């Protein structure tokens, strides 16, 4: 079992069908997973199997959290376009995560379609602390969702 960083194949298909709108037409979520999960380019949709559970408290709920402040950057003269989100945190968290899945929750198109898998490169644990997924700086060349 492994989590491999990837833009999901289903996202590429659905993008060409016009089923993604990062400028407000859809809501995107991020769900956290343990090292027992198998996620990668062939992941098609959100599923709760091997999703993080709290070792104490209730900071994490199944399905993860909605991503906020989606910003699409690029334009007619740009050779690269990308999407950025605000960093997201779980406070008073007690769990271990090895990776994440960004997926589309609603907005008139397919629901729960996988967008991108994030591999953290190892287990990260919060023990009654704050667990934060920090997105790279937009325009820095390492954006999570990038076309160019």
Stretches in the chain below the pLDDT threshold 70: 1, 75-77, 107-110, 138-142
Does residue 105 sit within a domain? yes
pLDDT in tens, 115-138: 999 999 999 999 999 999 998 876
In a domain, 33, yes or no: yes
Q: pLDDT value at position 81?
A: 83
Q: Is 96 exposed, middle or buried (0-12, 13-18, 19+ CB in 10 A)?
A: middle
Count structural domains, the chain. 1
- Is residue 1 in a domain? no
Quick check: is 29 in a domain? Answer: yes
Neighbours of 51 (CB within 10 A): 22
Asked if residue 83 is part of any domain, the answer here is yes
Pairing of strands 88-106, 114-133: antiparallel
């Amino acid at each position: 079992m492994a989590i491999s960083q990837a833009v999901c194949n289903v996202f590429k298909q659905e993008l060409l069908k016009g089923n993604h709108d990062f400028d407000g037409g859809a809501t995107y979520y991020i769900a956290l997973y343990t090292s027992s999960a198998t996620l990668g380019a062939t992941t098609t949709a959100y599923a709760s199997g091997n999703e993080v559970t709290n070792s104490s408290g209730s900071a994490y709920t199944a399905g993860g959290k909605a991503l906020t402040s989606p910003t699409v950057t690029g334009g007619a003269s740009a050779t690269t376009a990308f999407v950025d989100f605000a960093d997201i945190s779980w406070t008073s968290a007690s769990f271990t995560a090895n990776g994440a899945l960004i997926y589309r929750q609603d907005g008139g198109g397919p629901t729960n379609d996988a967008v991108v898998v994030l591999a953290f490169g190892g287990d990260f644990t919060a023990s009654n602390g704050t667990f934060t997924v920090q997105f790279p700086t937009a325009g820095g060349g390492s954006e999570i969702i990038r076309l160019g």
